[in-house]
Amino acid sequence: MITLKEWMEIVDYRITEGSNYYNNRYGESVYSLDSWNGEQEGFSFTVIFDTDTQKVFEVQAHDYRNNRAYRMFAEGYALPVGADDTAWDDTDYVTLEVDDDFIQKCLAIREGEDYDTRVSVPVEFSDEELLKYMKIAHERDITFNQLITDALTEAIEDYKRDPEGMKARAEAWKAR
């Protein structure tokens, strides 16, 4: 999770609002800071943190020009299953998991630049697995990133076709 200092650098130390943040998931001494550029079709960024420890629980980026909203949660503080994902009107939050993905999107939003709307997903491989998958990518004459993207896309499509079957296969894989 990005730090309060990193968030302040993203917003160029420009704070437009702040208030106590009441949410029993994060505790009692929680505060929210906002940085809005003042334009209806502009952007705003929010950080929710503990005023005592400076621990950041959640960060948000709101791109009003493109009707996109992103957020990240600190480890252990994900949105409860079934909770509302709505950022505003017909715009839902996209939850990000990679700090650099969030930071790059924020910087582009702040500068009014186009940015990659795909979501970075953290993946971990052993050295043996990494070598195996790099060899497969080489044999297919594609990049390693393309191989991983293709595999994840296929897994998502499998899940859409048969969610329960995919969950069972995932549990069986974990048990190995």
In the chain, where the domains are located: 4-111, 127-175
Mean pLDDT of 48-59: 95
Give the pLDDT of residue 117. 97
Q: Examine the pLDDT at 99 and tell me if it is beyond 80.
A: yes
Band (167; pLDDT cuts 50, 70, 90): confident
Mean pLDDT of 142-162: 90
Band (27; pLDDT cuts 50, 70, 90): confident
Q: Examine the pLDDT at 28 and tell me if it is beyond 90.
A: no
- Report the Cα–Cα distance between both ends of the chain, in Å, rounded: 31
Q: Examine the pLDDT at 38 and tell me if it is beyond 80.
A: yes
Q: Examine the pLDDT at 24 and tell me if it is beyond 80.
A: no
Residue 100 tokens, joined: 């650099």
Mean pLDDT of 108-118: 97
Full-model pTM: 0.82
Q: Examine the pLDDT at 72 and tell me if it is beyond 80.
A: yes
Give the pLDDT of residue 112. 96
